[in-house]
A and B are shown apart, each in its own frame.
Chain A
């Protein structure tokens, strides 16, 4: 069990979403402190804390902020990413619901550090309830001059706008999010140029996950020295683990990074119903590579430890499957998801995701063949790395990992009959973008 048990992002304080309660518990002190610092000192402090992005890519936050040009003739923007659409992920809504001012405070500090004129918070359209909660908190913060043209009388000003999405997983991808905010279809952009140079409306832009931003006031209040001693050294802090599927107590749990996956499942989430064995675990949202039940012993929940076992921390959304689970059915459902959510720009993803779904459905219908297993792997391999954004990779990784780890499930389902139709080989895919 973990030694550090303090909850930093979601503390057990009733009504913390109310501004008065938040202020009574030290709220907006980090903002006051930040306003007394130079912007580059704040970026330095965040760099020193080793804070890494919580949206899935684990990019160092301080470094990302330092990419923003100091001088710019154009306005600079911060986009807070609350699209939260990765299956298995349901943590940001907890921040909106229980501690929205922590996020707002962090966003204003980030805006000051980077000289941002408007913070756009993009929230998925389905989260109507949480958009209303956040809007109330934003209105209250405006009224107390934590947001506005002259924040706390310092002369620094920034606006705060909430933008409602309308149902598209791809808008969680940072460049698609910017296009969506511009009122367009959510198509990811080719990089470079990177958002810090050419972002929203062609202006320098930084995009951070909601949970990442919520860590910022904590770092400023307690200091980077203190912060980086929590959890795994290379990815410190606490993490909002979302655990779902076959566990007794699914939900969001806040613990330091680097806790044991088995502790999370058995000690915090109450183990598997009926004391069944675990067949598979998805460690960080539907895009991450699967682990077999036998592999989870000793695995720690942080970016480097999970990378070492061939998967990723992703969004920290753990999905547990018990021994009776039909893994091919689950995988086919995931393939359906990516097929549905592919924006359609890149041929490998648009076509490949559909092919993967069709092949998997063949296995479910009992029409799959042995050669279909290799065909499926081939399609996945031809998507990976050949698309503008990471959705293609995200669609390929679970398929590749399940073929590698549960090949026997495919073989047991494959048609043995020699009269099985020969599958059509997909045409060779041409890479149009440098991987």
Chain B
């Protein structure tokens, strides 16, 4: 399930930690980067790979909000609505995106292109409101700017 590249990366990582348990998060990140989410089969795979109980892996995956336990769209839009963003229109931005894509918070679009999630503070309070699309930050947003981004992403 891990790519050849990631297997090599894993070998390098092993020397950095005294226990293989520490590799739980790095390996789960690799799985998510390859597959977009972490399926029950993936959890079993990681458990076997690191010789850990599958219950441990399940516990870790479900504790951390960034690990997706169901498939997400090609663009995972994570909109912050915490205090600084709330004060500068984060909620309105999230509502606008949901309306345009015809989804509720946490849902995926029918064409599987977008998932929209409400998230907690992403450390962009000085450039609020903002959203994270996959690993990229988009800051100082307005509805006009987000419209342009959605147009672009709808094509590509």
Q: Decide whether A and B assemble into one complex.
A: yes
A: residues with CB less than 8 A from B are 75, 84-90, 93, 118, 124-129, 159, 161, 163-169, 180-186, 201, 242-246, 250-252, 282, 286, 317, 319, 321, 325, 329-330, 333-334, 337, 340-341, 343
**B86: chain A residues within 8 A (beta carbon):** 329-330, 333
Q: CA of A164 to CA of B23 in the docked complex: distance in angstroms?
A: 11
Is B25 within 8 A of A163, CB to CB?
yes
Is A317 within 8 A of B120, CB to CB?
no
Q: CA of A170 to CA of B16 in the docked complex: distance in angstroms?
A: 24
Is A242 within 8 A of B125, CB to CB?
yes
Using known A-B contacts A126-B66, A319-B83, A321-B87, determine if residue A182 contacts B21 with beta carbons closer than 8 Å: yes
Is A180 within 8 A of B25, CB to CB?
yes
Is A183 within 8 A of B87, CB to CB?
no
Number of A-B contacts (CB under 8 A): 139
Task: Tell whether B122 is near chain A: CB-to-CB under 8 Å.
Answer: yes
For the complex formed, measure the closest distance between the CB of B68 and the CB atoms of chain A, giving whole angstroms.
10
Using known A-B contacts A166-B29, A245-B83, determine if residue A183 contacts B64 with beta carbons closer than 8 Å: no
Task: Tell whether B104 is near chain A: CB-to-CB under 8 Å.
Answer: no
Task: Tell whether B127 is near chain A: CB-to-CB under 8 Å.
Answer: yes
Is B121 within 8 A of A250, CB to CB?
no
User: What 1/0 mask marks residues of chain B from 1 to 34 whose CB sits below 8 Å from any chain A CB?
Assistant: 0000000000000001111011111101100000
Q: CA of A413 to CA of B137 in the docked complex: distance in angstroms?
A: 37
Is B82 within 8 A of A87, CB to CB?
yes
Is A87 within 8 A of B83, CB to CB?
yes
Q: CA of A409 to CA of B28 in the docked complex: distance in angstroms?
A: 46
Kindly state the interface size class of chain B when it binds its partner.
35 or more
**A250: chain B residues within 8 A (beta carbon):** 84, 125-128
Interface residues of B in 51-84 (CB under 8 A from A): 56, 59-60, 63-67, 81-84
Cross-chain contact of B120 among A89, A169, A181, A251 (Cβ < 8 A): A169
Task: Tell whether B135 is near chain A: CB-to-CB under 8 Å.
Answer: yes
Closest to B18 in A: A201
**B67: chain A residues within 8 A (beta carbon):** 166-167
Q: CA of A198 to CA of B81 in the docked complex: distance in angstroms?
A: 38
B: residues with CB less than 8 A from A are 16-19, 21-26, 28-29, 56, 59-60, 63-67, 81-84, 86-88, 120-128, 132, 135-137
Is A184 within 8 A of B66, CB to CB?
no
Is A168 within 8 A of B88, CB to CB?
no
Q: CA of A363 to CA of B127 in the docked complex: distance in angstroms?
A: 30
**A166: chain B residues within 8 A (beta carbon):** 25, 28-29, 64-67
Given contacts A168-B65, A182-B21, 20 further A-B contacts (CB under 8 A): A90-B125, A93-B123, A118-B16, A161-B17, A163-B25, A166-B66, A167-B67, A180-B25, A183-B22, A184-B56, A201-B18, A201-B19, A245-B83, A245-B84, A250-B126, A250-B127, A251-B126, A286-B83, A333-B86, A337-B120
A124, A159, A166, A186 interface centre (most CB from chain B within 10 Å):
A166
Q: CA of A118 to CA of B18 in the docked complex: distance in angstroms?
A: 11
Is A128 within 8 A of B135, CB to CB?
yes
Closest to A344 in B: B63
Is B63 within 8 A of A168, CB to CB?
yes
For the complex formed, measure the closest distance between the CB of A333 and the CB atoms of chain B, giving whole angstroms.
5
**B22: chain A residues within 8 A (beta carbon):** 181-183
A181, A182, A252, A282 interface centre (most CB from chain B within 10 Å):
A182
Cross-chain contact of B88 among A87, A88, A245, A252 (Cβ < 8 A): A245
